[in-house]
Amino acid sequence: MRSSVSDVLPPVIKRSLSKFGNDLATARRKRGLTALAVAERMGVAKNTYLRVEKGDASVGLGIYAMALFVLGFGDPLGSIIDVSRDDTGLLLDEERLPKRVRMKKAQVPQS
């Protein structure tokens, strides 16, 4: 039997998605938009958008990105993993640097 995405998510991720969905719902209400209006602008069914507001993990990332766009948040997903701010990745790069660098001997062409 296959487990659903929700079954394997750590609690911290579930809470984060729930908060994210709640924040989207709050942003929608602040803008005076109905769930149906946002769903229509996104090109999805109202039920799909309501699942987004609940933080449903089975909803595709593209749907969440479109909800953010429709609500006027631009492209926040483009800066979530900014490699210039990836401290762990930068440290790993530094650890991989060689301790010494040697020049290769110039090879003399044989005639």
- The Cα–Cα gap between 73 and 24 comes to 10
Nearest to 51, CA basis, from 64, 68, 32: 64
In this structure, is residue 14 part of a structural domain? yes
- pLDDT score of 1 more than 90: no
Q: pLDDT per residue over 67-92, tens digit each?
A: 999 999 988 888 888 888 888 988 99
Alpha helix positions (H), 54-86: 61-70
The DSSP call for residue 102 is: -
- What pLDDT, on the 0 to 100 scale, is given for residue 107? 73
Q: pLDDT per residue over 45-54, tens digit each?
A: 999 999 999 9
Helices (H) and strands (E) in the chain, counts: 6, 0
- Residues written for the chain: 111
Mean pLDDT of the chain: 90
Q: Does the model's pTM come out above 0.85?
A: no
Q: Which residue type is seen at 111? A: S
In this structure, is residue 17 part of a structural domain? yes
In this structure, is residue 4 part of a structural domain? no
**Domains of the chain: total:** 1
Check which CATH number belongs to the domain holding 64 and give it. 1.10.260.40
**Residue span of the structural domain in which 19 resides:** 10-76
